[in-house]
Amino acid sequence: MDRDTAEPRVDALPGERAREWVTRYQEVAAPSTHVYDFVWDVTAPAAGPFCTDVDGNVLLDFTSHVAAAPLGYDNPEIRERLAAFDLVDPVKIAGQDFYLGSGGPADDPDVPGPAELMHRLVELTDGYGMDTVFLSNSGAEAMENAMKICYDYREGASHGITFTGAFHGRTLGVLSLNRSKAVHRRDFPELSGIREVPFCSDRGCTRGTCRCGFFPAEDAPSVLRRTLESEGGTLDPDDVAFLAVEPIQGEGGIRVPSETFMDELAAVSSDFGIPLIADEIQAGLGRSGQWWASDGYAIEPDVIAAAKGLRVGATVSREEVFPAEKARLSSTWGAGDELASLVGVLTIDVIREEGLVANAEERGRQALEALQDADIDHAVDVRGRGLLLAVEFDTRARRDAVVECCFKRRGLLTLPAGRKSLRLLPPLDVTEREVELGVDLLVESVGDREVRRAAPQVDVGGDVA
């Protein structure tokens, strides 16, 4: 496949073979999140954001597997570097309890593994004074461990603070922090002591123009600060183990907060000495146009949770925040995947060497401006930072119709987010041509006859369900 000339080409979606594969999956698979019947053929040509499904349709993937494939398909740098290694089984060992090494010096091994990945992460978080990493299997586990170390560090603290629209994972503990969709938490037991405060819904808001309720009035303390103040507050700050925030909300609708909101969050964390957990699982590793989305704000995270494009989960903080007691943290398999850790190291190296953080910023700006200039019918907002982009429509029905039309009629893969938003997460090495192509296909889909027929169904409220 020639990436420089490739374009989506679709016949019937899903095709006959795709339907067979979907049926095969559904015979044994538990119901899960499902967007559409796209079945990628791992043996067929693919390059960058272009891939081929099992029926031979060529698609333009602007989801990057929900940011878990930051370099797209069949990245030549990753493929060529992987080919140089002669790995033997087992490539998965018992977590951080078992060490593995290879030829060459320990600080420049022939086969980079978990140790090198952790050192890379310490380098990338040095600006926050972080020096210690706990690797795990997933983003949800990274957040679970972030919460655990904060509860331990703030001995006796039994409360945590989350934000409206938040999504932090699917394991039972972090579900208590989720506020993006009711289905995530409904009827599951929750951790006690979790409080919710508003997340900034206006990226340009000030204290005087705030509409989300975080700042009740220009001269009034924020809801967060008022909750913790000695007079009238409902929480003793010493009883709060953490503030958990996505610097840019993903599942909640690619909600980009204002600097005023983040300035106050930084100030509250500092003034009351409450650890701040930054969930960088989707927004981190260059996707926002900076290594960490936190870098664009005044906040100074005490803990960073990373995963997705990292290929493993990682909880990163300072040594004193982590428990000193052995076995307080442990995982039989977390951090024990040599291949995943190797790909994580290579991913960071390729992002660095190819200047892909800067590319994410530049191509993201191009996409945002193109989407805004297109004056998309029925779009109530176009927003994003770097290659975290969203178009919010007037109704959920219209959003869903656009997602479906992009897929079935244009071969463009997109994702829903929040209540009414369509999410775009192109690979970090996306080109100018590919951005133009993707935006054109989206705009064409919005004007499609099938989308115009979509029941308008007036939606009430903002983008978070």
Looking at the fold, whether 155 and 209 belong to one and the same domain comes out as yes
pLDDT for the residue numbered 457 = 63
Quick one: pLDDT at residue 33?
80
pLDDT, tens digit (0-9, with 9 covering 90-100), for 23-75: 998 899 888 887 788 999 999 999 999 999 999 999 999 999 999 999 999 99
346 and 366 within one domain: no
C-alpha to C-alpha distance for 331 and 280, rounded to whole angstroms: 21
For residues 101 and 171, state if they share a domain: yes
Lowest-pLDDT range of 101-105, 189-193, 230-234? 230-234
Indicate the residue among 353, 371, 389 that finishes a domain.
353
φ, ψ at 244 (rounded to 5°): -115, 125
319 and 308 in a common domain: yes
Quick check: 461 pLDDT over 70?
no
- Is residue 395 a part of any domain in this protein? yes
Assigned domain for 254 exists: yes
Which pairs with CB-CB distance under 8 Å and at least 24 residues apart come from 446-452? 446/376, 446/377, 446/378, 446/379, 446/402, 447/377, 448/405, 448/409, 450/401, 450/404, 450/405, 450/409, 451/398, 451/401, 451/402, 451/405
Q: Confidence class of residue 464 from pLDDT cuts 50, 70 and 90?
A: low
Domain shared by 161 and 288, yes or no: yes
Tell me phi and psi for residue 51, to 5 degrees: -145, 170
Q: Answer yes or no: is 464 within a domain.
A: no
The answer on pLDDT for 465 being more than 60 is no
Out of 42-46, 183-187, 302-306, 313-317, least confident range: 183-187
Does 265 lie in the same domain as 118? yes
The pTM of the full predicted model, rounded to 2 decimals, is 0.94
- Domain count for the chain, please give it: 2
Residue 402 lies in a domain: yes
Q: What does the pLDDT read at residue 246?
A: 98
Tokens 């800067």 -> residue? 358
Least confident range of 130-139, 324-333, 456-465: 456-465
Distance, CA of 6 to CA of 433 (rounded, Å): 10
Both 255 and 375 in one domain: the answer is no
> Which one has a higher pLDDT value, 332 or 177?
177
Domain end among 302, 325, 353: 353
Q: Which domain holds residue 51?
A: 16-61+355-452
**Pair of tokens at residue 172:** 């039972």
CATH code of the domain containing 40: 3.90.1150.10
pLDDT at 232: 76
Average pLDDT for 84-88:
85
Domain shared by 256 and 315, yes or no? yes
What's the CA gap between 425 and 400, in Å, rounded?
A: 17
What pLDDT, on a 0 to 100 scale, did the predictor assign at position 459? 66
Confidence at residue 109, expressed as pLDDT on a 0 to 100 scale: 92
Tell me the three state secondary structure of residue 194: strand
Task: Look at residue 31 in the predicted model and tell me its pLDDT.
Answer: 83
Average pLDDT along the chain: 93
- Based on the fold, state whether residues 251 and 187 are members of the same structural domain: yes
Domain final residue pick, 324, 353, 382: 353
Per-residue model confidence (pLDDT) at position 216? 92
The model's confidence at residue 463, banded by pLDDT at 50, 70 and 90, is confident
Determine, yes or no, domain membership for 66.
no
- What residues are paired with 199 via a beta bridge? none
Give the model's pLDDT for residue 449.
Answer: 85
Whether 347 is in a domain gets the answer: yes
* Nearest by Cα to 70 from 343, 429, 367: 429
pLDDT of residue 458: 64
| DSSP structural state of residue 238 | G
Task: Please indicate, yes or no, whether residues 156 and 294 belong to a single structural domain of this protein.
Answer: yes
User: Which percentage of the chain shows pLDDT scores above 70?
Assistant: 98
User: Is there a domain that residue 272 lies in?
Assistant: yes
Residue 460 banded pLDDT, cuts 50, 70, 90: low
Residues 313 and 174 grouped into a single domain: yes
Question: Do residues 282 and 363 both lie within one domain?
Answer: no
- Lookup: tokens for 269: 């964390």
Domain membership flag for residue 75 = no
221-235, 284-298, 365-379: which has the minimum mean pLDDT?
221-235
Q: What does the alpha-carbon distance between residue 196 and residue 155 come to, in Å, rounded to a whole number?
A: 22
311: DSSP letter: S
pLDDT reading at 96 higher than 80: no
Beta-bridge partner residues of 226: none
Banded model confidence at residue 455, pLDDT cuts 50, 70, 90: low
Quickly list DSSP for 23-84. Answer: HHHHTTPPP--------B-TTS--BBTEEEBTTS-EEEE-SHHHHT-TT-BS-HHHHHHHHT
- Can you tell me the distance from the alpha carbon of 114 to that of 253, in angstroms, rounded to the nearest whole number? 33
Q: What is the CATH number of the domain that holds 181?
A: 3.40.640.10
Average pLDDT over residues 252-264: 96
What angle in degrees, to the nearest 10, is found between the helix axes of 338-353 and 356-373?
A: 70
| 352-374 average pLDDT score | 98
pLDDT at site 32? 85
